[in-house]
A and B are shown apart, each in its own frame.
Chain A
Amino acid sequence: MLSNIHCPTIRIGKRSVNVFPYWVSLLIAGIFFGLLGAVTVLRDGLHVTGLSNAIPWGLWISIDLSAIAMGGCAFVFGVIVYILRIKRFEVIGKLAVLLGFLGYSTAGMVLLFDLGQPLRFWHPVVFWQPHSLLWEVTMCVVLYLSVLIAELMPIVLEHPVFHTHPWLTRFRWIGNLMKFAHKVAHWFHSAGPILAVAGLTLSLLHQASLGATYSVLAGRGIWFNQSAPVQFVFSAMSGGIALLFLSSVFVFRVMRPGQVSDEALLDIARIAGGITLLLTYLRVWDWAVTNYYSFNRTIALQTEVLDTVAPYTLTFWLGQALLPIIAGSILLGARQIRNFRLLMAVSFLPIIAAILTRWNYNFAGLIASISYDPFTPDVILNSYTPTWVEFSVGTLVISYWLLMFSLAARYLPFQSTKEHH
Chain B
Amino acid sequence: MKNPNETPPEQGEQKVARRDLLKVGGALLGAAGLAQFFSLNSLAVRNKSEGQEGDGPKWGMLIDINKCIGCNYCTYACQAVNNLADDMLYNVVSVETTQSGEEFFLSRPCMQCAEAPCVHVCPVGATYYREDGIVAMDYDLCIGCRYCQVACPYAARVFNWKKPIEKSDKAPDFGMQEVPNRPRGVVEKCHFCTQRIDYGVERGLVPGVDTAATPACVVACPTGARVFGDLNNAESPISKARTEASVTLRLREDLSTEPRVYYVPPVAESKTPFIQNQEG
* Interface set of A (CB-CB < 8 Å, partner B): 45-47, 51, 53-54, 56-57, 76, 79-80, 83-84, 86, 114-117, 120-121, 123-124, 127-136, 138, 200, 204-205, 207-209, 211-213, 216-220, 226, 229-230, 233-234, 237, 253, 257-258, 261-263, 267, 270-271, 274-275, 338-341, 365-366, 369-370, 372-376
Contact = CB atoms under 8 A, between A and B. Distances in A.
Nearest to B144: A116
Contacts of B32: 204, 208, 230, 233-234
B144 A115 contact: yes
19 contacts: A46-B144, A46-B185, A47-B162, A84-B27, A86-B24, A116-B145, A116-B184, A120-B124, A120-B143, A127-B141, A205-B38, A208-B32, A230-B32, A230-B36, A257-B5, A258-B5, A261-B6, A374-B263, A375-B269
Interface stretch (B52-60, B67-75, B150-158, B209-217): B150-158
Contacts of B186: 116-117
* Interface footprint category on B: 35 or more
A212 B44 contact: yes
A117 B185 contact: yes
Contact of A133 (B96, B121, B125): B121
Nearest to B26: A84
A208 B36 contact: yes
B45 A115 contact: no
Given A237-B28, A339-B1, A130 B43 contact: yes
B17 A134 contact: no
Given A120-B143, A209-B43, A53 B3 contact: no
A237 B35 CA distance: 13
A341 B1 CA distance: 8
Contacts of B157: 53
Contact of A233 (B24, B36, B144, B161): B36
B136 to A, nearest CB: 15
Contacts of B36: 208, 229-230, 233
Nearest to B65: A374
B125 A127 contact: yes
A79 B152 contact: no
Interface string B249-266: 101100111000001010
Closest 8 CB pairs of A and B: A116-B144, A219-B153, A116-B185, A56-B146, A135-B123, A47-B161, A204-B35, A134-B123
B143 A374 contact: no
A132 B24 contact: no
Given A86-B24, A274-B25, 18 more contacts: A53-B155, A57-B150, A117-B183, A123-B143, A129-B123, A132-B120, A132-B147, A200-B31, A212-B40, A217-B117, A217-B121, A217-B151, A230-B32, A257-B3, A267-B21, A271-B24, A341-B1, A372-B153
A115 B145 CA distance: 5
Contact of A115 (B2, B20, B185): B185
A84 B124 contact: no
B98 to A, nearest CB: 5
B21 A270 contact: yes
Contact of A54 (B38, B155, B162, B183): B155
**Most chain A Cβ neighbours within 10 Å, of B35, B43, B94, B269:** B35
B36 to A, nearest CB: 4
B11 interface: no
Contacts, number: 220
Contacts of A253: 3
Contacts of A133: 39, 43-44, 121
A136 B153 contact: no
A134 B125 CA distance: 11
B9 A263 contact: yes
A275 B24 CA distance: 11
Contacts of B98: 375-376
A118 to B, nearest CB: 8
B31 to A, nearest CB: 5
Contacts of B256: 218
A219 B117 contact: yes
Contact of A116 (B123, B142, B249): B142
B81 interface: no
Nearest to B143: A120
User: Which of A47, A234, A258 has the most chain B CB within a 10 Å cutoff?
Assistant: A47
Contacts of A374: 96, 106, 249, 251, 263, 265
B251 to A, nearest CB: 5
Given A131-B120, A208-B39, A372 B46 contact: no
A233 B37 CA distance: 12
A373 B146 contact: no
Nearest to B259: A372
Interface in B118-135: 120-125
B3 to A, nearest CB: 6
